[in-house]
């Protein structure tokens, strides 16, 4: 076994890999939250529940409808996004101009409903999703064993994050989005359909959560509370990064995953809490968050 | 005059209630009513939405439970220990949380509460998943045996009244006026020279302390402190109680707590038992969309309409 200064390299790289995977999910969810926050100025408390919904949709698709993993990867985000659009149009829109604490409470209520329904339908113990045939197995690297599916998660979510970043920072549609973040009223005066943009943004943001759910299904247990646990961590990450920048949300998500992985290796007792402790530290040193713009 | 009469009637009802209703149920309502009132002090009067208030309820419960089981203290000392610890954590968490505002404040408090949740889950002192069981109620001041539910009820009622009056006094004090000013217009309060963050912190600590008192009392009533008390779900529940009853009103949280606890008790044995969380979510959505003023707020509207 390769050891270096008493450090078990296999174990260390293993935990780093797990950290990177968790980080990928944090990044996807934080990205979705940040996009929605940018235009709507609300924190979507149901983001975790929609991630859970994505995982369950993939599971139902595979076991009842004959939709395989690859189709689920396309169809589920669309379906979750469509569901999100429905929520935005019917429930969130009517209170869009009021104190944003209300939309936080509203989306919390929605999360409770979704989680409760799935607990009732599927029980709380969780289900397992069969890994797609093409991604089974793994590669033996000199310092670690890399399962193919895990490599796929990291690569795929990085591509999605980078693509989203590119779309927002470098394209015309993204320019509208950024302009809407700065001053939606003015943009509307220029003749851009802001309500439509808001709806699409919300749909895209929660679609990302649905996508993360599909990615998570084969490696995590598909259970009703999978969303709420991860969401609170993502909230801490959002506080750490600040929601001013899209790139910041992605980077903070990945970095926190890695820090969590390292903690799991060096001091496992603190692995559940380390991200919250980082948040405390950031609040003490730079309260606005590492990438935050507001005072 | 009208209010005084109403309060006397309510007090009378509270005194005879245990002869009509099950005392343990009433004690549960009182504990959660105090918890919700403490929470409402922060949300309704200072305008701060804490999404992690369960941590103070849980700290009170665990600390009281721990010292009662381990050192066999009398209940008043056990409660004191729980309350002091809640106040201390309230001070630390409050200092961190008031650095951010609005939605961020809610997220920070939620994350801090989750931090505490994992601490309570992992430390060997709290019994992990089982929690602390068989907490003795003990003898109040070493004299009055609290094992009897009826005696315990009057003790809990006294604690509730103490907590309620503390909140009432706080709201109607000059400090409370400044708190409301901050809620209404923070920049204006700052420009008038108030150190806004200190006021917010003070409100946070008072709220945390009283939430701790509720938790300590609850631990004695049920002789149990468990992870449910510190779970994020509990933090959501107290928001719902306050919202449903009417935030920013004196009696709203009491009515909200009574309604939610009754609903849970009623549903737990019925065919809808599995849907409790779903129903709570639905109540949440309805409250936010159509019922902002809550039960007491709507009631006040009706009374005002009829009298004017």
> Does the CB of B273 have a partner CB in chain A at under 8 Å?
no
> Does the CB of B102 have a partner CB in chain A at under 8 Å?
yes
Note whether residue B143 is domain-resident. Answer: yes
Mark yes or no for CB contact B102/A276 under 8 Å.
no
Mark yes or no for CB contact B284/A104 under 8 Å.
no
Size of interface A-B (CB pairs under 8 A): 116
**3 state SS of A138:** strand
Note whether residue B277 is domain-resident. Answer: no
Mark yes or no for CB contact B111/A91 under 8 Å.
no
pLDDT digits (tens, 9 = 90+) for B193-215: 889 999 999 999 999 999 999 99
Mutate to test the interface with A, among B190, B263, B285 (most CBs of A within 10 A): B285
Q: Which of A262, A126, A151, A166 shows the shortest CA–CA distance to A215? A: A151
Model pLDDT, residue A1? 45
Mark yes or no for CB contact B112/A112 under 8 Å.
no
Of A104, A120, A228, the CB nearest to B275: A120
Q: Which of A43, A78, A74 shows the shortest CA–CA distance to A231? A: A43
Shortest distance between the Cα of B159 and any Cα of chain A, in A, equals 30
Q: What is the DSSP letter of A130?
A: P
Instruction: Spell out the domain ranges in chain A.
Output: 12-285
State the total domains in chain B: 1
Model pLDDT, residue B62? 94
Mark yes or no for CB contact A116/B232 under 8 Å.
no
**3 state SS of A139:** strand
**3 state SS of A232:** helix
> Does the CB of A238 have a partner CB in chain B at under 8 Å?
yes
Model pLDDT, residue B308? 59
Note whether residue B181 is domain-resident. Answer: yes
Note whether residue B304 is domain-resident. Answer: no
Q: Cα–Cα distances in Å, from A68 out to A71, A155, A220, A224?
A: 6, 20, 17, 21
> Does the CB of B282 have a partner CB in chain A at under 8 Å?
yes
Note whether residue B227 is domain-resident. Answer: yes
Set of chain A residues whose Cβ sits within 8 Å of the Cβ of B283: 109
Q: Is the torsion defined by CA of B52, B277, A103, A229 positive or negative?
A: positive
pLDDT digits (tens, 9 = 90+) for B50-72: 999 999 999 999 999 999 988 88
Rounded Cα distance between B282 and B166, Å, is 33
Model pLDDT, residue A183? 80
Mark yes or no for CB contact A110/B111 under 8 Å.
no
Rounded Cα distance between A77 and B232, Å, is 27
Name residues of chain B where pLDDT drops below 70: 1-2, 308
Model pLDDT, residue B261? 92
Phi, psi values for residue A156, rounded to 5°: -65, -45
Shortest distance between the Cα of B104 and any Cα of chain A, in A, equals 7
Which residues are CB-neighbours of A275 under 8 A, at least 6 positions away? Answer: A233, A236, A237, A240, A256, A259, A260
> Does the CB of A31 have a partner CB in chain B at under 8 Å?
no
Query: Domain A12-285 carries which CATH code?
Result: 1.10.3470
Model pLDDT, residue B73? 85
Q: Which of A233, A234, A248, A237 shows the shortest CA–CA distance to A291? A: A248
Mark yes or no for CB contact A280/B112 under 8 Å.
yes
Which residues are CB-neighbours of B278 under 8 A, at least 6 positions away? Answer: A112, A113, A116, A117, A120
The residue of chain B nearest to residue A103, with distances taken between CA atoms, is B288
Mutate to test the interface with A, among B284, B286, B290, B294 (most CBs of A within 10 A): B284
Q: How many residues does chain B have?
A: 308
The ipTM assigned to this model is 0.86
Residues spanned by the domain of B83: 19-231
Model pLDDT, residue A51? 95
What element of type H or E holds B132? strand B132-133
Note whether residue B84 is domain-resident. Answer: yes
Of B111, B243, B284, the CB nearest to A279: B111
Model pLDDT, residue A295? 40
Mark yes or no for CB contact B108/A283 under 8 Å.
yes
Phi, psi values for residue A3, rounded to 5°: -125, 155
Model pLDDT, residue B72? 82
Query: Is the distance from CB of A269 to CB of B107 less than 8 angstroms?
Result: no
Model pLDDT, residue B89? 95
Model pLDDT, residue A4? 53
Model pLDDT, residue A82? 94
Mark yes or no for CB contact B118/A287 under 8 Å.
no
> Does the CB of B111 have a partner CB in chain A at under 8 Å?
yes
CA dihedral B196, B202, B204, B209 (to 10 degrees): 180
Shortest distance between the Cα of B42 and any Cα of chain A, in A, equals 14
Note whether residue B47 is domain-resident. Answer: yes
Q: What is the DSSP letter of A132?
A: P
* Tens-level pLDDT at each residue, chain A (295 residues): 445 555 677 778 888 888 899 999 999 999 999 888 887 888 888 999 999 999 999 999 888 888 888 888 899 999 999 999 999 889 888 888 888 888 888 999 999 999 989 988 888 888 888 888 777 777 777 777 788 888 889 999 999 999 998 988 888 888 888 887 778 788 888 888 888 888 888 999 999 999 999 999 888 888 888 988 899 999 889 888 877 778 888 999 999 999 998 888 888 888 888 888 888 888 888 888 888 765 4
Model pLDDT, residue A7? 64
Mark yes or no for CB contact A110/B274 under 8 Å.
no
Model pLDDT, residue B174? 92
Q: What angle do CA B182, B93, B294 make, to 5 degrees?
A: 50
Mark yes or no for CB contact B99/A111 under 8 Å.
no
pLDDT digits (tens, 9 = 90+) for A96-152: 888 888 888 899 999 999 998 998 888 888 888 888 877 777 777 777 778 888 888
pTM for the model stands at: 0.89
């Amino acid at each position: 076994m390769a050891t270096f200064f008493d450090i078990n390299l296999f174990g260390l790289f293993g935990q780093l890999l797990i950290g990177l995977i968790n980080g990928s999910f944090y990044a996807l969810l934080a990205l979705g939250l940040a996009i929605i926050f940018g235009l709507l100025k609300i924190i979507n408390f149901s983001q975790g529940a929609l991630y859970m919904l994505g995982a369950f949709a993939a599971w139902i698709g595979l076991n009842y409808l004959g939709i395989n993993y690859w189709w689920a990867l396309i169809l589920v985000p669309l379906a979750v996004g469509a569901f999100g659009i429905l929520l935005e149009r019917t429930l969130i829109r009517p209170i869009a101009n009021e104190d944003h604490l209300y939309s936080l409470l509203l989306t919390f209520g929605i999360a409770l409903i979704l989680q409760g329904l799935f607990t009732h339908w599927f029980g709380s113990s969780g289900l397992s999703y069969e890994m797609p045939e093409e991604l089974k197995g793994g590669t033996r690297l000199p310092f670690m064993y890399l399962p193919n599916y895990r490599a796929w998660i990291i690569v795929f979510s990085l591509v999605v994050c980078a693509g989203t970043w590119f779309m927002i920072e470098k394209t015309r549609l993204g320019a509208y989005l950024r302009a809407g973040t700065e001053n939606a009223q003015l943009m509307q005066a220029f003749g851009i359909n802001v309500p439509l943009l808001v709806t699409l943004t919300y749909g895209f943001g929660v679609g990302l959560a649905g996508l993360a759910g599909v990615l998570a299904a084969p490696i995590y247990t598909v259970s009703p509370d999978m969303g709420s646990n991860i969401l609170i961590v993502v909230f801490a990450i959002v506080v750490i990064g600040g929601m001013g920048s899209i790139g910041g949300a992605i980077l903070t998500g990945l970095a926190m995953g890695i820090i969590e992985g390292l903690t799991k290796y060096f001091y496992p007792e603190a692995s559940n809490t380390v991200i919250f402790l980082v948040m405390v530290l950031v609040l003490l040193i730079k309260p606005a968050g590492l990438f935050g713009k507001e005072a | 005059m009208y209010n005084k009469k109403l309060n006397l009637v309510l007090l009378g009802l509270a005194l005879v209630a245990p002869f009509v209703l099950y005392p343990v149920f009433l004690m549960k309502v009182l504990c959660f009513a105090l918890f919700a009132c403490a929470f409402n002090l922060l949300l309704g009067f200072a305008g701060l939405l804490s999404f992690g208030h369960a941590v103070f309820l849980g700290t009170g419960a665990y600390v009281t439970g721990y010292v009662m089981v381990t050192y066999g203290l009398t209940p008043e000392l056990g409660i004191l220990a729980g309350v002091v610890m809640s106040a201390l954590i309230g001070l630390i968490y409050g200092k961190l949380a008031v650095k951010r505002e609005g939605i961020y404040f809610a997220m920070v408090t939620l994350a801090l509460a989750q931090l505490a949740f994992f601490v309570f889950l992992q430390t060997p002192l709290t019994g992990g998943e089982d929690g602390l069981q068989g907490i003795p109620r003990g003898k109040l001041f070493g004299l009055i045996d609290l094992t009897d539910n009826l005696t315990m009820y009057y003790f809990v009622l006294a604690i509730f009244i103490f907590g309620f009056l503390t909140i009432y006094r706080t709201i109607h004090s000059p400090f409370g006026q400044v708190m409301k000013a901050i809620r209404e217009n923070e920049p204006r309060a700052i420009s008038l020279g108030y150190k806004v963050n200190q006021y917010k912190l003070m409100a946070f600590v008072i709220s945390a302390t009283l939430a701790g008192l509720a938790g300590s009392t609850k631990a004695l009533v049920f002789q149990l402190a468990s992870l449910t008390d510190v779970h994020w779900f509990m933090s959501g529940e107290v928001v719902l109680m306050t919202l449903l009853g009417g935030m920013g009103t004196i009696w709203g949280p009491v009515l909200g707590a009574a309604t939610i606890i009754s609903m849970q008790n009623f549903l737990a044995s019925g065919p809808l038992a599995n849907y409790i969380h779903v129903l709570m979510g639905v109540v949440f959505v309805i409250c936010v969309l159509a019922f902002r003023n809550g039960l007491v707020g709507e009631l006040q509207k009706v009374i005002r309409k009829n009298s004017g």
